[in-house]
Amino acid sequence: MGAVRRRQPDGSWQGVQPRDYAAVPGVVRHELIGAPHYRVRYFEVAPGGRTALERHAHDHGVVIQSGRARVTLGVERHELGPGDVVYVGPDELHCFEALGDEPLGFICVAPPAGRGA
Amino acid sequence: MGAVRRRQPDGSWQGVQPRDYAAVPGVVRHELIGAPHYRVRYFEVAPGGRTALERHAHDHGVVIQSGRARVTLGVERHELGPGDVVYVGPDELHCFEALGDEPLGFICVAPPAGRGA
């Protein structure tokens, strides 16, 4: 069955409990949709913060929503902003860092938990 | 391998050819990511326009990016705006209509083509 989750004035979503992300300070994860083939999450990174520099078997589809990002993608680095899109391939090194004074917000799509390939 | 697609000043993305959507006037589709487990698309609906009122086996995960939407979801109707999230379940009737004077833009995640369930 379908569902609507309205964004709240505080930046969270109805019915979605914000969670810490892998014990990285300043990064909060919101699990927006858990569907059979994919998950849709929203991450917010505090100014000056960054997600873990990591690689893993599952891929990511990212759309920047707000703020400025320095994105590590394999051996490359890119400075990106709202509307820009990143595909992180399987086992590709990646990190999202918030530049400037504004939090970095991005949508991150991933396969369902446990389907890494 | 990963990839970056920057959004252009005209609202399109580097390397992504905007396409008509199911011959519905005023609706344009941008295929941003085609990954093994999911596709990430962006739809833009001209003011006063709407997507097809339809149902099908595959589900959708939607995040409104800009404009105002009247969303049909099964027997319900919702008025939504930027940041709001919709999950359209398998075989659920749905339609996205642009309200007001601004185009409606939304991210729409779907399973890979041909994996309807």
For the stretch A21-47, pLDDT in tens is 777 789 999 999 999 999 999 999 999
Is a pLDDT exceeding 90 seen at residue A7? yes
Q: Which of B4, B32, B73 sits opposite A2 (nearest CB)?
A: B73
Catalytic residue among A108, A113, A115, A116: A108
Chains A, B: CB pairs < 8 Å = 132
User: What are the tens digits of pLDDT across the range B40-98?
Assistant: 999 999 999 999 999 999 999 999 999 999 999 999 999 999 999 999 999 999 999 99
How far, in Å, are B26, B54, B81 from residue B98 at the CA level?
10, 16, 10
Per-domain residue ranges for chain A? Answer: 38-102
Contact B1 A74 (CB under 8 A): yes
CATH of domain A38-102: 2.60.120.10
Q: Mind telling me how many Å the CA of A48 is from chain B's nearest CA?
A: 22
**Backbone phi, then psi, for B4, in 5-degree steps?**
-115, 135
Q: Say whether the ipTM exceeds 0.90.
A: yes
3-state DSSP call for residue B47?
coil
Contact A3 B86 (CB under 8 A): yes
* pLDDT score of A115: 61
Mean pLDDT over A94-99 rounds to 98
- Other CB atoms closer than 10 Å to residue B80's CB: what's the count? 23
Q: How far apart are CA B47 and CA B50, in angstroms?
A: 8
The answer to whether residue A108 is catalytic is yes
Contact A6 B84 (CB under 8 A): yes
Architecture per CATH, B27-110: Sandwich (2.60)
- Other CB atoms closer than 10 Å to residue B60's CB: what's the count? 22
Mean pLDDT over B21-45 rounds to 92
